[in-house]
């Protein structure tokens, strides 16, 4: 496979909805680009995924909230986090002035975080 592209091209600078683009998908693995332009998760709704998610914020800013933490985490470009399976989380806010570009790697639930 000879796929290529640019993570900072091919999206609107201000869109009504978050954009999710799958860059690579294989059994047990999905890599996606997420572009947020001021969007946030719905209050009271949590992501609860069966797989590990490793995510890095490449541009913009975001507030990432975990159900088991009192305060949201502030993410800036370069910040990354590995989210364990079934750890409930949501995006509380993203930068409304500039696109927040994320790279997310989802690894099948048969694999576990290594510390």
Q: How far is CA 61 from the centre of its chain?
A: 12
Q: Is residue 21 included in any domain, yes or no?
A: no
Domain count, the chain: 1
Q: Whole domain around residue 64: which residue ranges?
A: 33-107
pTM for the full predicted model: 0.87
Instruction: Please check whether residue 88 lies inside any domain of the structure.
Output: yes
Chain centroid offset of residue 1 CA: 25
- Is 1 inside any structural domain? no
Which two three-digit tokens encode residue 12? 């609107």
Token digits of residue 24: 């690579």
Q: Give the distance between the most distant pair of CA atoms in the chain.
A: 44
Residues 32-72: tens digit of each pLDDT: 999 999 999 888 899 999 999 999 999 999 999 999 999 99
Identify how many contiguous H helices and E strands the chain contains and give both numbers: 0, 8
């Amino acid at each position: 496979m000879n796929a290529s592209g640019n993570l900072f091209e091919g999206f609107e600078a201000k869109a009504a909805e978050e954009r999710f683009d799958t860059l690579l998908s294989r059994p047990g693995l999905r890599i996606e680009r997420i572009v947020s332009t001021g969007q946030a998760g719905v209050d009271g709704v949590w992501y609860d995924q069966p797989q590990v998610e490793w995510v890095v914020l490449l541009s913009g800013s975001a507030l990432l909230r975990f159900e088991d933490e009192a305060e949201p985490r502030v993410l800036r470009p370069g910040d990354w986090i590995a989210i364990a399976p079934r750890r409930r989380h949501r995006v509380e806010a993203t930068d409304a002035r500039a696109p927040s570009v994320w790279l997310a790697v989802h690894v099948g639930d048969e694999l576990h975080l290594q510390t």
